[in-house]
A and B are shown apart, each in its own frame.
Chain A
Amino acid sequence: DTEVTQTPKHLVMGMTNKKSLKCEQHMGHRAMYWYKQKAKKPPELMFVYSYEKLSINESVPSRFSPECPNSSLLNLHLHALQPEDSALYLCASSQAGQGYEQYFGPGTRLTVT
Chain B
Amino acid sequence: QQQVKQSPQSLIVQKGGISIINCAYENTAFDYFPWYQQFPGKGPALLIAIRPDVSEKKEGRFTISFNKSAKQFSLHIMDSQPGDSATYFCAASITSGTYKYIFGTGTRLKVLA
Bound Cα distance from A68 to B90, whole angstroms: 28
A43: B residues at CB distance < 8 A: 44, 89, 103
Mark each residue of chain A from 80 to 109: 1 if its CB lies under 8 Å from any CB of chain B, else 0.
000000000010100001111111111101
Bound Cα distance from A72 to B99, whole angstroms: 21
- How many inter-chain residue pairs (CB < 8 Å) link A and B? 57
Find out whether the CB atom of A48 lies under 8 angstroms from the CB atom of B34.
Answer: no
Interface check B67, CB cutoff 8 A: no
Rounded to whole Å, the gap between the CB of A47 and the closest CB of chain B is 11
Bound Cα distance from A111 to B73, whole angstroms: 36
- Which range contains the number of A residues in contact with the other chain? 20 to 34
Interface check A61, CB cutoff 8 A: no
Interface check B42, CB cutoff 8 A: yes
Find out whether the CB atom of B99 lies under 8 angstroms from the CB atom of A102.
Answer: no
Q: What secondary structure prevails in chain B residues at the interface with A?
A: strand
* Contacts A98-B32, A107-B41 known; 19 new A-B pairs at CB < 8 A: A40-B106, A41-B105, A42-B89, A45-B101, A98-B96, A98-B101, A99-B31, A99-B94, A99-B96, A100-B95, A101-B49, A102-B34, A102-B46, A104-B36, A104-B45, A105-B43, A107-B42, A107-B43, A109-B41
Find out whether the CB atom of A106 lies under 8 angstroms from the CB atom of B43.
Answer: yes
Interface check B71, CB cutoff 8 A: no
